[in-house]
Structure 1
């Protein structure tokens, strides 16, 4: 069944470019491993003829005419990434989090319960019911304005960017049933 409001990526960031293809996947044309800028979707892309790309370049992959990308071969899991892409994935995810701080701060300001037993904030690594209660109490006093604001006002929370990064990695492994930052 066709879904009208299906969430998908429009921009993907290059984390590995293999101009000779990927023999491990039997791909004999230039191939790009990329991560989506909005939902961290991991993808294998092929390029149009005579096109080259740079590491960390943003590529348009939406529904309109794509200047560089010929096709999206498929979604992949983090385990399917070539070794050369893994450190680049970490850099890209951390950059996306940093550059979209207000989006993630808003998550802390608006996150609610998933059911009567678990709050969505508890899905972040090392966040238990006590820290969730501190977050809720502090955001009721005044909404959080930055990662630093959260870290200063919520005792014991630690590095907020790192918590988000670790949660995204957990979701990308495919082992998490509930997704809060990925598709």
Structure 2
């Protein structure tokens, strides 16, 4: 089993200055919390900010091991159900932004995706891709690798927005605990 990579940077989904509302402790005993998502593996995290700093929604924060500017520590890894309503509402927009920023990583997925089992291909895991569309993608990438999302859309007419398929898959992997294959996230 390979060692799990740690997230180094995260983007803020919600800031809870008085901790969780359902925390039974009096508010003065609660610590402030930040709900965030890692930029590499889309891990959902709960962070404890340093006492004197101000952290904003959508802010990118460093959470690696060295000197952290704004985060005291990573408190725990959380699941989708642990997110606040605000964080759940912001999640699709933030994931979409990350997909655009890391476009080449996701285009590489279309260029390098392989079979998982004799009857299941990694491309099948994207919503809307069946056998016929999978074969069309494989034929096109064998002619010439895809350069970007626009290239995928131009060459595969049935995929006008490949980034939306990736967004839907990432959300499914985060929301559904029973997803067997994690393509873009880690369990």
Which residue of 66, 69, 79 corresponds with 1:67? Answer: 69
Residue 10 of structure 1 deviates from its aligned partner by 0.4
Residue 26 of structure 1 deviates from its aligned partner by 5.0
TM-score normalized with structure 2 length: 0.91
Residue 176 of structure 1 deviates from its aligned partner by 0.8
TM-score normalized with structure 1 length: 0.93
Q: Structure 2: which 5+ runs fail to align? A: none
1:181 aligns with 2:184: yes
**Paired residues, what number?**
181
Q: Structure 1: which 5+ runs fail to align? A: none
Which residue of 5, 14, 18 corresponds with 1:16? Answer: 14
**Pairwise mapping of residues 1-183 of structure 1 onto structure 2 (< 5 A)?**
5-25=3-23, 28-173=30-175, 174-183=177-186
Distance 1:16-1:37 versus aligned 2 partners, 3 A rule: same
Distance 1:4 1:178 in 2: 16
Distance 2:113 2:78 in 1: 28
Distance 1:153-1:10 versus aligned 2 partners, 3 A rule: same
Distance 2:112 2:86 in 1: 37
Residue 25 of structure 1 deviates from its aligned partner by 4.2
Distance 1:29 1:152 in 2: 50
Q: Which moved more, 1:146-155 or 1:88-97?
A: 146-155
Q: Over the residues paired in the alignment, what is the CA RMSD in angstroms?
A: 1.5
Distance 2:69 2:183 in 1: 31
